[in-house]
């Protein structure tokens, strides 16, 4: 990769990692479901007027909107609002790798390699260690974030089936579908009076948090990531995703004063190593996480040339095996 593109990939990972700190700050100013609704509303408008018509069937947009935007992010934000620290949340969310592999085996008949199984076992063991850490916070928050990882696994399978090649277009339309549902959910759970009061009294900190998670962490980061994937392929680009939890932990320590115990550090290291092992070269597509509340589905098969050709505007869209490889390294939210 060119030096400039390496720097861009690192910047995207940093944006996604810092996203957890921004979420934590935003949750101090507004309730979690309203925060999620505002985030996806800001992603949808005005971008929907510029990205064109959806490029994948509506059923897959709806499936990803429900599993990812509505369920996954609502659970993640609720878990952090319940007391889960930002840095630890970044690690625990990696449980998606375990759920994604299990769902791919059951629903897509993908058989993981021995290396992938070893990685998933290591990641699961690391999550157990993190769960026993003293800084994790209330058990309810931990469980909510693990459930968010499970919802992310469902979304990964739906995204694989969607096989979207225009990532920005896909994410914007997912946001369009999810926003009304999230507004209704916020009104039903948090109450109309609370929602109305919070919206009327949004502080500059709240507006800044929404702007960051919508425009920087979603639209900007997706655009840059998609461009890098078209240029180099998932095998080259996807590993940069694993810098995101590192940035999340470092930024949470510096900006929020969070500290991990030795047990949590050991568990977090096991999670990261396990995910990297599970994302190694395999026969079928798998998943690699991108943190900061964002994610990437990745088929790490070394198919740089085929991936670039499959996603080229001149190719008329991917077909056959090229269509499968074109889903590599695809951000999910």
Q: Which of 126-130, 163-167, 191-195, 261-265 has maximum average pLDDT?
A: 191-195
Q: What is the pLDDT of residue 208?
A: 96
Does residue 123 register a pLDDT over 80? no
Average pLDDT over the chain reads: 79
- Name the more confident of 293 and 192: 192
Q: What is the pLDDT of residue 61?
A: 95
| Least confident residue range of 15-19, 26-30, 163-167, 301-305 | 301-305
Q: What is the pLDDT of residue 321?
A: 40
Q: What is the pLDDT of residue 227?
A: 84
Q: Which of 9-18, 33-42, 112-121, 151-160 has maximum average pLDDT?
A: 33-42
Q: What is the pLDDT of residue 75?
A: 96
What are the start-end ranges of the H helices in the chain? 3-27, 32-44, 58-64, 73-81, 86-92, 96-107, 114-131, 139-162, 167-190, 192-200, 204-211, 221-232, 234-237, 243-256, 262-278, 304-310, 320-325
Does residue 283 register a pLDDT over 50? no
Q: What is the pLDDT of residue 294?
A: 54
Burial class for 284, CB neighbours closer than 10 Å (0-12, 13-18, 19+) = middle
Does residue 122 register a pLDDT over 90? no
304 band by pLDDT with thresholds 50, 70 and 90: very low
Tokens 């946001």 locate to 175
Question: Strand, coil or helix: what is 257?
Answer: coil
Q: What is the pLDDT of residue 279?
A: 60
Q: What is the pLDDT of residue 299?
A: 33
Q: Looking at residues 165-186, what average pLDDT do you find?
A: 93
Distance between CA atoms of residues 213 and 39, nearest Å: 6
261 band by pLDDT with thresholds 50, 70 and 90: confident
Does residue 167 register a pLDDT over 80? yes
Asked if the bond preceding 46 is cis, omega within 30° of 0, the reply is yes
79 band by pLDDT with thresholds 50, 70 and 90: very high
3 band by pLDDT with thresholds 50, 70 and 90: confident
Does residue 331 register a pLDDT over 50? no
Q: What is the pLDDT of residue 280?
A: 56
Does residue 21 register a pLDDT over 70? yes
């Amino acid at each position: 990769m060119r030096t400039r593109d390496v720097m861009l990939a690192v910047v995207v990972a940093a944006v996604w990692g810092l996203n957890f700190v921004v979420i934590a700050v935003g949750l101090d100013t507004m309730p979690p479901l309203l925060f999620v609704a505002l985030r996806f509303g800001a992603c949808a408008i005005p971008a929907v007027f510029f990205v064109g018509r959806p490029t994948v069937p509506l059923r897959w947009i709806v499936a990803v909107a429900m599993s990812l935007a509505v369920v996954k992010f609502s659970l993640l934000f609720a878990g952090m609002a319940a007391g889960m620290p930002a840095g630890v949340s970044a690690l625990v969310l990696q449980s998606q790798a375990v759920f994604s592999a299990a769902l791919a085996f059951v629903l897509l008949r993908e058989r993981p390699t021995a290396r992938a199984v070893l990685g998933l076992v290591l990641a699961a063991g690391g999550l157990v260690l993190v769960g026993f850490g003293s800084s994790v916070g209330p058990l309810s928050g931990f469980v909510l974030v693990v459930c968010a990882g499970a919802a992310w696994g469902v979304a990964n399978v739906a995204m694989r089936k969607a096989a979207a090649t225009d990532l920005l277009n896909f994410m914007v339309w997912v946001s369009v579908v999810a926003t009304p549902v999230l507004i209704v959910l916020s009104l039903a759970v948090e109450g109309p009076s609370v929602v109305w009061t919070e919206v009327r009294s949004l502080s500059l900190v709240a507006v800044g948090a929404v702007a960051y998670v919508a425009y920087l962490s979603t639209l900007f980061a997706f655009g840059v990531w998609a461009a890098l994937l078209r240029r180099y392929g998932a095998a080259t680009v996807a590993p940069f995703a694993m810098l995101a939890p590192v940035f999340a932990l470092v930024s949470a320590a510096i900006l929020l004063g969070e500290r991990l115990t030795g047990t949590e550090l050991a568990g977090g290291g096991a999670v990261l190593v396990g995910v990297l092992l599970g994302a190694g070269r395999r026969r079928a597509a798998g998943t690699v996480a991108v943190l900061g509340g964002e994610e990437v589905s990745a088929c790490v098969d070394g198919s740089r040339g085929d991936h670039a050709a499959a996603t080229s505007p001149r190719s008329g869209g991917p077909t056959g095996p090229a269509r499968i490889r074109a889903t590599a390294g695809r951000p999910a939210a």
